[in-house]
Every structure is written in C-alpha cells, then in structure tokens.
Amino acid sequence: MQFEILKKDPKSGARLGQVITSHGAFRTPAFIPVGTQATVKAMTPEELRGMGAEIILSNTYHLYLRPGHELIRRMGGLHRFMHWNYPLLTDSGGFQVFSLNSLAKVTGEGAHFQSHLDGSRHFLSPEKAIAIQQALGADIIMCLDECTAYPASHEEAARSLELTLDWARRCKESHGSQDQALFGIVQGGMHSDLRRRAAETLAAIGFDGYAIGGLSVGESKEAMFQIVADTAPLLPQDRPRYLMGVGLPGDILEAVRHGVDMFDCVLPTRNARNGTLFTRSGKIVIKKAQYAEDPLPIEPGCPCYACRHYSRAYLRHLYQAEEILALRLNTIHNLHFYLQFMNDMRKAIAEDRFEAFGQEFHARWVSGDEPSSEGRESFPAHPVLRNRISNNSSENLCRSSRRNVKNQQGGKFDVQ
C-alpha cells in the first residue's frame, strides 16, 4: 500500500492525498461506506461506484460468524465473493465483540464471546483477528484493540491501553502478508497523555496507517475534537489517519481540519433506511405529512438518481408503504450526499479554499436532534423475524449509537 500526500492545506491540518492498494486507489479525505455483511445494505457495487465510492468496509465479526471466513477464502476471497473489485477494508472484529456482548470476557490472550446469532462460544485473539482478516483478503486490515469503556478513569484507560498496545505488537508479528496493509488503533480514553503514549508506541511498532478509536462513545463533541486535535498531529505524517465510526458531515469536516484522512460511518445508510435524508441545509424526515404532495426532489439540483426521477411525495409514499424501493432510493441519495461532500472537500483543499468551504457548509447546515438519537429510533422492537429482510439489524452503528444500544438493551444482540 502506498500513501501519497498531494497537497497540504496551509491554514489547517487538512491533507489531500491518495492511497494505492492492490485493488486500485482511493482519494483522501475518504468516506468509507459500511458493508457489514459483505454488502452495503440495499446497494450493488455498480451503484456504489457510480456515486463515487472508492473504498468500502466490511465487518470481520459478522463475516466470521456468517458465512465464515474460511468459506469466503474458499470462494476466492471477499472481493470476489461480494463482487467488489476495488479497495476494501475490514475491521478486527473487536468492537463488535465488546459492544455486542455484555458477557464478553477479556484476558491477556484475547476475548471470549458468544455469537449474537446463536449464542455459540468463540475466542478472538490478536493472532486470530489477523488470520480471519487474511482469509477475507481485504486491502486494509485492522489490529485487534480493546475499546476502552466510557467514561474510564486514567487507571482503567491506562490498563486497557497496555492491552491494546500488546495486542498491536502481536498483530504486527503475526501479520506477514505484503498484500494487506495493517493499521494500528490509538486508544487511551479521554486522556491526552495516554493518547500520546498510544500514538508514539504504535508509531514505533510501525504500521501502514493509524486509526483513532474509542471516540464518539458518549463524550461531548468538544471532548472528541480535543482528542482528535491532540492525537492526529502525533501520528506519522506520511501514513493515512483513520477516524473510526465518525460521523456527521460537520464532524468529518472538523476532523479533516485536524489532519484525518479516512472515515467510516453508518449514518448515511442507516438514516436512509429510517427515512432521514441529508441535504445541504440539514436533514429532512421524509415521512412527515408536509411532504405528502411535495413535487420537489429531496434536494433540488442534486444529480443523484433518486433526485433526478422522484418527488418527495413519491418517496414519502414508498416509505409509508414500507416498500423496498424506499430503502434503495434513500440510500442512494444519502450516500451520494456524503461522497459528493467528500469530493467537494477534496476540491476545496486542492484549490486552497478549505476554510471557506467549511464556513459555507456551516452557514447552510441547520442541525436537528443529533447525533445520539440517530441510532435509537432505528432499532426494531423485536428480534429479527425469519423470512423478513432486516431493515436495521446487522449494520454497524456509529460509535455513539452503538453505545446507546448497549445502554438500552443491556448489551443484547439483535442490533450491531
């Protein structure tokens, strides 16, 4: 994997670049749509490419449990299995192990957990996380880390961080493949000194890229951005930086300003399936009665397929009627919005007007109830019914939402 920085914004930490993998390049700052179970919900790979997706993410935890990483290896690897012949990233599975299992038991060796599908017992170690990700064959893979609970005292966060750093070393050691880039993950809770220790230790071990984990777990936005602002500059300049599970467009903008290059989040896709649609002025809830006879597209002037051909009235009808096409059109629009936003941001950096771009964005955007309510409204009240296709289950939530699940449901499965 190569990372090229094409331009640095003179007035902020923002960087324009590209990452070259064995399945092609993606431009940074990059937004990574989430395809938890080897599919970005409701989308085909062609549609994703058509709206500008250059890299997508799949979740190791889910694929390990179903259909199994060895099966995917035998089918030619994840790219081939899911018909996505472009850059692909997998996480380590650790986040799901911890967030979906109130009974997950962590030892120095690894984590014991139960499947959210059938309760079967499993063990995930750093070595196994790497082996599973090697079987899947993504271009970028992640170290197993322990997600520090929030809030965590300095002592707790420090103890947790030492485990994460030990696991990072073991991941690096067990990882031999040249085809797969391995990223380390910075933990340390809300403690800047621990974040610094993590960044320096991981840089000394040496990874192909560095992620900032353990954020958007319930802390304030100010606290989150403080950690990002403190941590990002400590990470090696010549490697991509990845802020996991964040976030709203404004959050991404702020993190880019501090020098972050990669983002993933389920907000655009999950919101789409809940009928919440992104526009340049903020979010709209399509089921509202005010759209019942609205002949306008979601966002006038938007060139996405949904906006070119369908009225808000029709989209509201589809949503109210619980039609599958509602999920498709809403997802197309929201992903298009995010990917267009990243494209515009890259263009702004290239043209030395990143700051003005940010000001224009904030001037237009009107915040609603966000972001912690995002996840909650979407959760089905009942376990997934067989013979019904799930709307919301089995896709990662952004960190904040995930935490809400855990709080509300006692760590039970149902949703991921």
CA distance 98 to 273: 25
Strand-pairing partners, residue 112, are 105, 123
Burial of residue 203, with CB atoms counted within 10 A of its CB: 0-12 exposed, 13-18 middle, 19 or more buried: middle
CA distance 258 to 123: 37
- Catalytic entry in 9, 91, 208, 414: 91
**C-alpha radius of gyration, the chain, whole number:** 20
Q: CB of 26: closest distance to its own copies in angstroms?
A: 21
145 is catalytic: no
Using rule CB under 8 A, residue 86 touches its own copies: no
Q: Interface with its own copies by CB under 8 A: which range of 88-96, 98-106, 240-248, 382-390?
A: 382-390
Q: Between residues 43 and 398, which has the closer beta carbon with respect to its own copies?
A: 43
Q: Interface with its own copies by CB under 8 A: which range of 53-61, 314-322, 348-356, 398-406?
A: 314-322
Q: How many residues bind its own copies (CB under 8 A)?
A: 55
Burial 175-197 (b: 16+ CB within 10 A, else e): beeeebbbbbbbbbbbbeebbeb
Q: Which of 4, 200, 288, 324 binds its own copies (CB under 8 A)?
A: 324
Per-residue contact flags (x/-) with its own copies for residues 11 to 40, judged by CB under 8 A = --------------------------xxx-
Using rule CB under 8 A, residue 364 touches its own copies: no
251 is catalytic: no
Query: What CA–CA distances, in Å, run from 10 to 153, 170, 205, 252, 346?
Result: 37, 38, 30, 19, 14
Length reported for the chain? 416
Using rule CB under 8 A, residue 394 touches its own copies: yes
Using rule CB under 8 A, residue 378 touches its own copies: yes
CA distance 413 to 96: 10
Per-residue contact flags (x/-) with its own copies for residues 268 to 287, judged by CB under 8 A = -----xx-------------
- Catalytic entry in 9, 251, 264, 414: 264
Q: Between residues 311 and 409, which has the closer beta carbon with respect to its own copies?
A: 311
Burial of residue 278, with CB atoms counted within 10 A of its CB: 0-12 exposed, 13-18 middle, 19 or more buried: buried
Q: Which of 3, 64, 81, 95 binds its own copies (CB under 8 A)?
A: 81
By DSSP bridging, strand 262-264 and strand 282-285 are unpaired
Nearest residue to 11 via CA among 260, 356, 243: 356
Using rule CB under 8 A, residue 334 touches its own copies: no
Q: Which one-letter amino acid corresponds to residue 3? A: F
Positions in the binding site for its own copies (CB under 8 A):
37-39, 41-44, 62, 66-67, 71, 74-76, 81-83, 273-274, 292-293, 295, 305, 309-311, 313-314, 316-318, 320-328, 377-378, 380-382, 384-385, 387-394
